[in-house]
């Protein structure tokens, strides 16, 4: 009987081993088919093998192997097959991503499969040998049994002895079998531990739950743990527990087996994935037990989930790419595709992944197929305007197309990527823009011509205004008349400058600007430029310097008008953006040959400077450093643009260095023809030494260079005290150049003290007084009273200096002609304290003069904006406020509202002044708290009427 059971066990073990081999072969077949075709229906053998394999492994517990060699073979087989199955899973996942099996992977899998075949053959061969031995033993046992019966019948007497011997032998054999069984059980438990598969059984009659050692290992329980149905369920939580309870109950009640992947919370607190399989067993339609397996699949499951997550991420990324994009493997089967691709080609409901490009789109022309094949060879194709007829769209579509390879490794191409961007609308827009540009060019030319004509028409009468005012300035006038006419002339010049800017910009835009190259006296030209800017700089008490290298040729061949325009613009900007300090116009020689000279013209100021990030925009049309510049300083923002464009015609350009708070330097280089000319003899002088006294260092250096050119040695002093120290040392000079405006000790005071020293030494030295203004009567009167003293206006021009030095040689005194101003009659004799608020200096002067012409005893306070006006009102109480409406920082309306909040200004008259004629402007002024309203320009009669209305005569 024992031999028959052993024979049956041998046959079952051989059958199991062959089933494992067949399962592996099916898995190999499925993998190979899918790798070659990419079609998912080839995976059916693999999926079937994947489900059967864990059950076959679990069936090893059904028999006990008593041969150590068999146990070792089985253990090695399970280990190899388990690794092979995992490798198949990874390869199949890679294939879904377009990553094909490498030759190395193919060889490795073949070797593993051959090893499994060898192990199975060895196991079967060994079992067949054992089976033959067991059959022979069984036959011998049968023969012995027959002889035993005959012998027993004949020798009944020896029955007792035989039974005793037989029983003893059975006991010994049982003991040996128990030992073999224990050893086999240990081997099976070890094999189960390697495969992480264990068996379990629930006896429904007794309620007892049995776990194998592998099950205990999976749950991480100790040896003393006694499993029951209830505490076994405790290893599952939430939906996992609900699921296993449902499956077990259904198996018991309905006889339905279950096979489920669940999460299990181990005894050590770690959650793992397990596969639980249960089979109910019935007797007389009553379930008397449920048995099955539990397998630790955590590593495999996590790998599978990770793979699935990566696949989902890749698909999601591809789907959400904001352009039409598709990814293909080497067989040109779809691997990933964006939703925009589906939209573009109307493929929303088409199953693309895994299907071939040419199957989905059979009408692809051969030239495009060639592009795709070349991409598989590593070539990238780009076409910025690829025309394509798309099904379902009437018009030819234009695409920005790119086709290129993607790589599995550094050198191995995995497939191709096609990305496109529909630019059909852009192509249409470009065509429309071309047409629109042609129309715009025609309109621009018409606009430029109109603008040029209109500028000319406006400039004609304006030239009359400026010309006649200039002629009038040359007639005998008193000081007040001269000042008023200067303001008229300046305003006209400013307006003319704006009109000229617009006209020049129009010419530049239309390409009609031309240069007129003529012979020009560079020193005379620079003198004219300085004279234009001089008045503006004097008003702001800014030192204006002219620094011209004395050795420059006098005659240059240039467009004098355009060059003056550029320099005046640069100097005007410098004055505009400089509150204090100095401005220098410098001309220096860079190089010179027999025919041409390279000059650098530069304008340096100590103004507000320009931030680095704004410097690149400063030459753009209508651009200023920030939006408040135009309101605060005025201007069109065209000056630098026009200057830079004019320089472009001269083959040059403006450059800039600037630092915020320190100032700016604008410069440009010109290379022009020149003509040498000798200085006239009357410009020569016999003076050999000079003392230069000036608090401005730049001015001292410039004068030193000018004097050096005439071989006059200079001694420099920065103030009157230093000059006195030099004279006290006994120094003698042919001429002393003395600045009028100096700190500590003025120029006239210094001259007086030096004359005292000279008188003591019985010496005489001529003086040249350097002044920034010729209109200060006290300067002229004082200079005229000093014997042997001459006046020279800043900025110092070299030819003016040399002429004055020649006068010093001849002891020629200056003569000053100055008419005395006439007295005017006044309408108001009472004392008035008036606040004038206006951001425009010319308007401020005009208002000042108008008020003084009406009230001789008036006391005027000036404010440049609403905020300053408010501060002045907080300091004192005024009789009347003349308030400009539109001002920077704080407008007149806002300032009036704040002033009315001061207790002492509840009833003080405030008169609004504005250039605006917009409907409702006067109402806004009155609503803000102003008493009345005057339009610009202010007329004397209108101002008089307002004063009479609000102030007692």
Q: Tell me: the pLDDT tens digits for 387-443?
A: 888 877 878 889 999 999 988 778 888 899 999 988 988 888 888 888 888 887 787
Neighbours of 412 (CB within 10 A): 12
Q: Tell me: the pLDDT tens digits for 764-786?
A: 889 999 987 544 555 666 676 67
How far CA 928 is from CA of 147, 872, 895, 900, 947, in Å, comes to 141, 19, 9, 9, 20
Q: Cα(490)–Cα(326) distance, rounded to whole angstroms? A: 72
User: % helix / strand / coil in the chain, to the nearest 5?
Assistant: 55, 20, 25
681-810 has which fold?
A: Rossmann fold (3.40.50)
CATH number of the 321-422 domain: 3.30.450.20
Q: What φ, ψ does residue 901 adopt, rounded to 5°? A: -80, -15
Q: What percent of the chain has pLDDT over 90?
A: 29
CATH match for 515-671 among 3.40.50.450, 3.90.1150.10, 3.30.565.10, 3.30.750.24: 3.30.565.10
- Cβ-based neighbours of 503, under 8 Å, separated by 6 or more: 451, 452, 455, 456, 459
Q: How confident is the model at residue 347 (pLDDT cuts 50, 70, 90)?
A: confident
Contact 585, 530 (CB under 8 A): yes
DSSP E strands in 660-812: the ranges are 663-675, 689-693, 713-717, 735-739, 767-771, 789-793
Q: Tell me: the pLDDT tens digits for 357-398?
A: 998 888 888 989 999 999 999 999 999 888 888 877 878 889
832-950 has which fold?
A: Rossmann fold (3.40.50)
Helix, strand or coil for residue 365?
coil
What pLDDT, on a 0 to 100 scale, did the predictor assign at position 62?
Answer: 60
What pLDDT, on a 0 to 100 scale, did the predictor assign at position 123?
Answer: 73
How far CA 926 is from CA of 899, 920, 937, in Å, comes to 14, 10, 19
The structure tokens listed for 947 are 């004063």
Q: Cα(10)–Cα(14) distance, rounded to whole angstroms? A: 6
For β-strands 596-605 and 582-592, DSSP reports them as antiparallel
Residue extents of the structural domains in the chain = 2-187, 196-302, 321-422, 430-513, 515-671, 681-810, 832-950
Q: Cα(333)–Cα(394) distance, rounded to whole angstroms? A: 28
Q: Tell me: the pLDDT tens digits for 446-470?
A: 776 676 566 546 655 665 566 567 6
Picking from 400, 339, 415, the residue whose alpha carbon sits closest to that of residue 96 is 415
Average pLDDT over residues 637-650: 85
Contact 403, 416 (CB under 8 A): yes
Q: Is the pLDDT of residue 635 over 60?
A: no
What pLDDT, on a 0 to 100 scale, did the predictor assign at position 918?
Answer: 43
Q: Give the CA dihedral 328, 334, 336, 341, nearest 10 degrees.
A: 100
Q: Is the pLDDT of residue 847 over 60?
A: yes
Q: What φ, ψ does residue 67 adopt, rounded to 5°? A: -115, 125
CA angle 258, 262, 268 (to 5 degrees): 130
- Whole-prediction pTM value? 0.41
Domain 515-671 in the same topology as domain 321-422:
no
Q: Tell me: the pLDDT tens digits for 264-282?
A: 999 999 999 999 999 999 9
Q: Cα(714)–Cα(909) distance, rounded to whole angstroms? A: 60
Segment among 362-371, 507-516, 530-539 with least mean pLDDT? 507-516
Q: Tell me: the pLDDT tens digits for 200-229?
A: 999 998 989 999 888 999 999 988 899 999
Picking from 383, 358, 373, the residue whose alpha carbon sits closest to that of residue 405 is 373
Q: Cα(865)–Cα(881) distance, rounded to whole angstroms? A: 13
Contact 493, 465 (CB under 8 A): no
Neighbours of 51 (CB within 10 A): 11
Q: Is the pLDDT of residue 94 over 90?
A: no
What pLDDT, on a 0 to 100 scale, did the predictor assign at position 465?
Answer: 65
Q: Cα(691)–Cα(701) distance, rounded to whole angstroms? A: 12
What pLDDT, on a 0 to 100 scale, did the predictor assign at position 824?
Answer: 44
Beta-bridge mates of residue 670: 599
CATH number of the 2-187 domain: 1.20.120.1730
What pLDDT, on a 0 to 100 scale, did the predictor assign at position 132?
Answer: 57
Average pLDDT over residues 822-837: 69
The structure tokens listed for 681 are 């003899």
How far CA 742 is from CA of 722, 739, 769, 782, in Å, comes to 12, 7, 12, 16
CATH match for 430-513 among 2.30.29.30, 1.10.287.130, 1.10.357.10, 3.90.1150.10: 1.10.287.130
Contact 570, 644 (CB under 8 A): no
CATH match for 196-302 among 3.30.450.20, 2.60.40.10, 3.40.50.300, 3.40.50.1100: 3.30.450.20
């Amino acid at each position: 009987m024992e031999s028959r059971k052993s024979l049956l066990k041998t046959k079952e073990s051989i059958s199991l081993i062959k089933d494992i081999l067949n399962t592996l072969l099916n898995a190999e077949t499925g993998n190979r088919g899918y790798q070659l075709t990419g079609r998912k229906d080839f995976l059916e053998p693999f999926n079937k093998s994947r489900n059967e394999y864990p059950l076959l492994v679990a069936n090893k517990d059904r028999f006990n192997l008593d041969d150590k060699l068999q146990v070792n073979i089985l253990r090695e087989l399970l280990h190899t097959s388990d690794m092979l199955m995992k490798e198949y899973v990874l390869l199949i996942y890679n294939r879904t991503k377009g990553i094909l099996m490498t030759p190395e992977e193919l060889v490795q899998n073949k070797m593993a499969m051959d090893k499994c075949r060898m192990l199975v053959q060895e196991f079967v061969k060994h079992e067949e040998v054992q089976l033959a031995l067991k059959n022979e033993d069984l036959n011998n046992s049968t023969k012995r049994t027959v002889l035993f019966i005959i012998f027993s019948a004949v020798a009944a007497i020896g029955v007792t002895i035989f039974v005793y011997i037989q029983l003893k032998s059975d006991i010994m054999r049982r003991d040996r079998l128990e030992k073999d069984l224990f050893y086999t059980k240990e081997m099976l438990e070890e094999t189960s531990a390697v495969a992480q598969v264990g068996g379990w059984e629930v006896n429904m009659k007794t309620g007892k739950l049995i776990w194998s050692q592998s099950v205990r290992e999976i749950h991480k329980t100790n040896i003393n743990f006694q499993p029951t149905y209830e505490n076994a369920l405790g290893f599952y939580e939430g939906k996992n527990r609900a699921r296993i309870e449902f499956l077990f109950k259904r198996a018991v009640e309905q006889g339905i087996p279950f096979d489920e992947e669940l999460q299990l919370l181990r005894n050590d607190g770690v959650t793992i994935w397990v596969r639980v399989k249960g089979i109910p067993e019935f007797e007389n339609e009553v379930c008397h037990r449920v048995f099955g397996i539990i397998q630790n699949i955590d590593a495999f499951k996590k790998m599978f989930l990770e793979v699935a997550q990566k696949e989902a991420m890749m698909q999601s990324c591809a789907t959400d790419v904001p352009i039409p994009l598709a990814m293909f493997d080497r067989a040109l089967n779809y691997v990933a595709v964006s939703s925009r691709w589906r939209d573009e080609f109307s493929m929303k409901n088409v199953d693309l992944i895994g299907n071939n490009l040419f199957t989905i789109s059979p009408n692809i022309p051969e030239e495009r197929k060639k592009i795709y094949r070349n991409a598989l060879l590593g070539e990238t194709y780009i076409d910025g305007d690829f025309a394509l007829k798309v099904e379902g769209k009437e018009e030819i579509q234009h695409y920005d197309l790119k086709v290129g390879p993607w790589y599995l490794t550094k050198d191995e191409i995995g497939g191709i990527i096609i990305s496109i961007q529909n630019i059909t609308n852009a192509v249409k827009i470009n065509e429309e823009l071309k047409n629109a540009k042609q129309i715009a060019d025609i309109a621009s030319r018409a606009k430029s011509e109109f603008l040029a004509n209109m500028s000319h028409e406006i400039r004609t009468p304006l030239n009359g205004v400026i010309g006649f005012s200039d002629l009038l300035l040359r007639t005998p006038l008193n000081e007040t008349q001269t000042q008023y006419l200067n303001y008229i002339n300046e305003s006209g010049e400013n307006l003319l400058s704006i009109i000229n800017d617009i006209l020049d910009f129009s010419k530049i835009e239309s390409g009609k600007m031309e240069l007129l190259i003529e012979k020009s006296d560079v020193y005379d030209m620079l003198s004219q430029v300085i004279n234009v800017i001089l008045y503006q700089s004097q008003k702001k008490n800014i030192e204006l310097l002219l620094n011209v290298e004395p050795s420059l040729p006098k005659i240059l061949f240039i467009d004098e008008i355009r060059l003056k325009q550029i320099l005046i613009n640069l100097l005007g900007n410098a004055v505009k953006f400089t509150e204090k300090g100095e401005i220098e116009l410098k001309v220096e020689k860079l190089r010179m040959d027999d025919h041409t000279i390279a000059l650098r013209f530069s304008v340096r100021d100590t103004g507000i400077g320009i931030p680095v990030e704004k410097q690149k925009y400063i030459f753009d049309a209508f651009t200023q450093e920030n939006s408040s510049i135009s309101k605060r300083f005025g201007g069109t923002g065209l000056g630098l643009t026009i200057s830079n464009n004019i320089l472009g015609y001269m083959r040059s350009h403006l450059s800039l260095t600037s630092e915020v708070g320190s100032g700016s330097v604008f410069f440009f280089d010109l290379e022009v023809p020149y003509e040498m000319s000798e200085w006239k003899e009357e410009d020569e002088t016999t003076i050999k030494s000079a003392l230069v006294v000036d608090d401005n260092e730049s001015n001292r250096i410039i004068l030193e260079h000018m004097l050096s050119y005439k071989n006059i040695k200079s001694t420099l002093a920065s103030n009157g005290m230093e000059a006195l120290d030099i004279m006290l040392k006994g120094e003698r000079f042919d001429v002393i150049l003395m600045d009028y405006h100096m700190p500590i000790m003025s120029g006239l005071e210094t001259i007086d003290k030096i004359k005292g020293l000279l008188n003591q030494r019985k010496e005489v030295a001529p003086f040249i007084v350097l002044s920034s203004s010729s209109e200060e009567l006290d300067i002229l009167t004082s200079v005229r009273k000093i014997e042997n003293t001459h006046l020279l206006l800043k900025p110092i021009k070299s030819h003016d200096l040399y002429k004055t030095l020649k006068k010093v040689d001849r002891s020629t005194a200056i003569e000053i002609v100055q008419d005395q101003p006439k007295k005017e009659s006044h309408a108001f004799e009472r004392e008035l304290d008036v606040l004038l608020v206006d951001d425009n200096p010319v308007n401020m002067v005009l208002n000042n003069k108008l008020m003084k012409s009406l009230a001789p005893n008036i006391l005027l306070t000036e404010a440049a904006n609403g905020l300053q006006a408010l501060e002045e009102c907080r300091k004192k109480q005024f009789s009347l406020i003349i308030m400009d409406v539109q001002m920077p920082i704080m407008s007149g309306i806002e300032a009036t509202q704040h002033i009315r909040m001061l207790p002492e200004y509840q009833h003080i008259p405030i008169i609004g002044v504005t250039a605006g004629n917009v409907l409702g402007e006067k109402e806004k002024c009155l609503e803000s708290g102003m008493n009345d309203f005057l339009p610009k320009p202010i007329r004397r009669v209108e101002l008089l009427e307002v004063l009479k209305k609000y102030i007692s005569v």
